[in-house]
Amino acid sequence: MTVSASLPLLAGQGLPQFEAITPEQVQQGIPALLDALNSELTALETKLEQRLAEATPLAWDELMDPLHHLGERLRWSWGVVSHLNGVCNTPELRTAHQQQQGAVVQFGNRAGQSRPIYRALEALQQNAANLDGTQRRILEAELRDMRLRGVGLEGAEQEAFNAASARQAELATTFSNHVLDATNGWSLTLTSETDLAGLPASLRELLAQAARDAGESGWRLGLDMPRVVPFLKYSQRRDLREQVYRAQVSRASTGELDNHPLIEQILQLKLEQAQRLGYANWAEVSLASKMAGSVAEVEALLDDLRAAAYPAAQQELEALAACAARHGADEAAALKPWDVSYWAEVLRQESFDLDSEALRPWFSLEQVLQGLFGLCQRLFDIRIVAADGEAPIWHSDVRYFRVLDGASGQALAGFYLDPYSRPGSKRGGAWMDECLGRSRTHAGEAVLPVAYLICNQSPPVGDTPSLMTFDEVETLFHEFGHGLQHMLTTVERPQAAGINNVEWDAVELPSQFMENWCYDRATLMGMARHWQTGEPLPESDYQKLLAARTFMGGSATLRQVHFALTDLRLHSQWTPACGQSPEQLRRDLARTTTVLEPIPEDAFLCAFSHIFAGGYSAGYYSYKWAEVLSADAFSAFEEVGLEQEEEIVATGRRFRDTVLSLGGSLPPAEVFEAFRGRQPSSEALIRHSGLVAA
Ligand SMILES: [Zn+2]
Rounded to an integer, the average pLDDT of 372-393 is: 98
**What distance in Å separates the CA atoms of residue 493 and residue 477, rounded to the nearest whole number?**
27
Query: Ligand 1 centre from 480 Cα, in Å?
Result: 9
pLDDT, tens digit (0-9, with 9 covering 90-100), for 39-84: 999 999 999 999 999 988 999 999 999 999 999 999 999 999 999 9
Q: Does the active-site annotation cover 479? A: yes
The pLDDT assigned to 4 comes to 59
Band of residue 389 on the pLDDT scale cut at 50, 70, 90 = very high
510 C-alpha to ligand 1 centroid (Å):
9
Q: Which of 413-422, 436-445, 578-587 has the lowest mean pLDDT?
A: 436-445
List the one residue out of 25, 175, 315 whose CA is nearest residue 616. 175
Q: Mean pLDDT over residues 449-470, rounded?
A: 95
Average pLDDT, integer, range 218-239: 96
Alpha carbon distances (Å) from 224 to 188, 227, 244, 251, 264: 12, 6, 11, 11, 26
Q: How far is the CA of 505 from the centre of ligand 1 (A)?
A: 11
CB 37 within 8 A of CB 70: yes
In Å, how far are 148, 220, 286, 578 from 572, measured between CA atoms?
17, 42, 10, 12
Nearest in space to 236 (alpha carbons), one of 205, 201, 207, 200: 200
Ligand 1 centroid, distance to 478 Cα (angstroms): 6
Q: Looking at the predicted structure, is the pLDDT value of residue 442 above 90?
A: no
pLDDT per position as a tens digit, 497-546? 999 999 999 999 999 999 999 999 999 999 999 999 999 999 999 999 99
In tens, the pLDDT along 14-37 reads 999 999 999 999 999 999 999 999
pLDDT at position 405, please? 98
Specify the pLDDT at position 6: 82
- Interval between CA 469 and ligand 1 midpoint (Å): 18
When pLDDT is averaged across residues 318-334 and rounded to a whole number, the result is 96
Residue from 215, 238, 227 nearest 186 by CA: 227
Burial of 579 per CB tally in 10 Å (0-12, 13-18, 19+) = exposed
Q: How far apart are CA 200 and CA 291, in angstroms?
A: 44
Instruction: Name the pLDDT band for 1 (thresholds 50, 70, 90).
Output: very low
- pLDDT value of residue 2: 55
Residue 3 has pLDDT above 90, yes or no: no
Q: What is the pLDDT of residues 599-627, one digit of tens each?
A: 999 999 999 999 999 889 999 999 999 99
Give exposure, 434-448, as e/b (b: 16+ Cβ within 10 Å).
Answer: bbbbbbeeeeeeeee
Pairing of β 431-436 and β 411-420 = unpaired
pLDDT, the chain, mean: 96
pLDDT at 542: 96
Residues 6 or more apart whose CB falls under 8 angstroms from that of 509 comprise 626, 629, 630, 633, 659, 668, 672
Mean pLDDT throughout 423-440? 94
The answer to whether 418 and 87 are in contact (CB under 8 A) is yes
Tell me the sheet residues that pair with 446.
440
Distance CA 461, CA 288 (A): 50
Kindly give the distance from the C-alpha atom of residue 430 to the centroid of ligand 1, in angstroms, as a whole number: 9
> What is the per-residue pLDDT across 249-264, written as a single tens digit (0 to 9) for each?
999 999 999 999 999 9
Active-site entry in 472, 474, 479, 503: 479
Q: Give the distance (Å) from ligand 1 centre to CA of residue 347.
A: 31
Report pLDDT digits (tens) over 270-289.
999 999 999 999 999 999 99
Residue 130 has pLDDT above 70, yes or no: yes
pLDDT 10s digits, 158-185? 999 999 999 999 999 999 999 999 999 9
Top pLDDT among 440 and 116 is at 116
Beta bridge partners of 610: none
Alpha carbon of 500 to ligand 1 centroid (Å): 14
Rg over alpha carbons for the chain, rounded to the nearest Å, is 27
Find the 169 Cα to ligand 1 centroid distance in Å. 26
Dist. CA 490 → ligand 1 center (Å):
21
Confidence check: pLDDT of 579 > 80: yes
pLDDT of 104 above 60: yes
For the whole model, what pTM was predicted? 0.94
Q: How far is the CA of 451 from the centre of ligand 1 (A)?
A: 14
